[in-house]
Amino acid sequence: MKKSKILLLSAAALMLASCGGSGGRPTFGDNEFPVVTVGTTSTTMQSTYPAVIKGVQDVEIHPKVQGFITQINVKEGQTVSAGQVLFVLDNVTYQAQVRQAEASVKTATATCNTAKLNYENSQKLHENGVIGDFEYRSAVNSYEQAKASLAASEASLASAKEMLSFCFVKSPASGVVGSLPFKVGTLVSASNTLTTVSNISSMEVYFSMTEKDVLEMGKNPGGLTGAIEAMPAVKLQLADGTVYGLEGKVTKMSGVIDPTTGSVQMIAVFQNPEKLLKSGGSATVVIPHSNASAILIPQAAVSEVQNKKFVYIVDKGNKAKYTEIKVDPQNDGNYYIVTEGLKAGDKFITNGITKLSDGMEIVPITPERYQQKIDEQAKAMGAGDIIGAMKK
């Protein structure tokens, strides 16, 4: 018996709750419906876009020569400076080539010095008529050939030293070291990415906007450039749901529309002094939109049929008119911002819309009176029906 009473009370409570819900209305025995006059208000809504975080400079580190890794001088996550040696490759062969090139330079230098002495001596002898033109020109040619050989040897030495320097893989930029997929002893070549150095002092956050949104932006004074400059500061919601402590600024937009998605890539920059943001991370960009004359209506007053939204407007004869409206796709779950279909001064019905039909004549009451009637009916039911049910 006690269980049945509890069930009856629960059913009664649910019935009362449904009376004040979005679809139903209390059975007042008349055609009274709550009516509100449309007004405007200042509001701030927000748009959200999935995003990818990248450092302002993400540099992939590749070796320029093939070789075995003999040293790894950094750790993952370590901050490095430009020019710092990250890896050392086996360079015995390249050191030998440098020594060989140095020996060639010494040999060429000696040969060049000898040819120079011979040339200077032949010049004096030629001036004094001791030797003829042939001997003199031969000395000149030998000296020129010796100088050319010396230059070639010096170039070979420079090339050998450069090849040796490639065995010491340096960071081209300051930043933070990424993953280190290769270990000491691994044979690597130019096709292998040894690591990535990311400058994360500030981060670029990439997200996409629809072509329609971009076209709307372009209609503003100053075009797209002016629209980007006028965009408000944006926020960043991280993967764990928290909001990043610093606001960012949209700075760039791609000049090409992606034909597969119909979207345009945007870039917002966020400062990253605490190194909390990591390159490659995912997040959500939040862009606020302020509207000084927005028309807000409760979602409970709106019905949806085949992805179209409708409200009941009350005309001068107190007849309900089924009217289509258009709303901003961004909402807070409680209210819609109406973009078409309603204007300030219109009257619409806020509750009990499932009991209405197009052209139905109603008796307008205020939402406060509507709630008062709900409370009165609930009190009457509690005193009569519920207590009587408990006595059975």
Mean pLDDT, the chain, integer: 86
What's the pLDDT tens digit per position in 8-17? Answer: 334 444 444 4
Q: Is 2-45+292-391 in CATH node 2.40.420.20? A: yes
Alpha carbon 135 to its chain centroid, in Å, reads 77
pLDDT at 170 exceeding the cut of 60: yes
More confidently predicted of 283 and 11 = 283
* Averaged pLDDT, 81-85: 94
> Residue ranges per domain, the chain?
2-45+292-391, 47-57+198-290, 65-188
Say what the pLDDT of residue 143 is.
95
> Which ranges in 219-282 belong to alpha helices (H)?
223-230
Q: Which residue has the tokens 């370590």?
A: 78
pTM of the model: 0.56
Q: Is 47-57+198-290 in CATH node 2.40.30.170? A: yes
What's the pLDDT tens digit per position in 114-162? Answer: 999 999 999 999 899 889 999 999 999 999 999 999 999 999 999 999 9
pLDDT at 60 exceeding the cut of 70: yes
Q: In whole angstroms, what is the distance from residue 24 CA to residue 253 CA?
A: 48
Query: Token digits for 354?
Result: 């499932």
Q: Which residue has the tokens 């010491």?
A: 168
More confidently predicted of 20 and 309 = 309
Q: In whole angstroms, what is the distance from residue 392 CA to residue 387 CA?
A: 9
What's the pLDDT tens digit per position in 173-223? Answer: 888 999 999 999 999 999 999 999 988 889 999 999 888 888 877 777 777
Say what the pLDDT of residue 27 is.
54
Q: Which residue has the tokens 């540099």?
A: 59
pLDDT at 389 exceeding the cut of 60: no
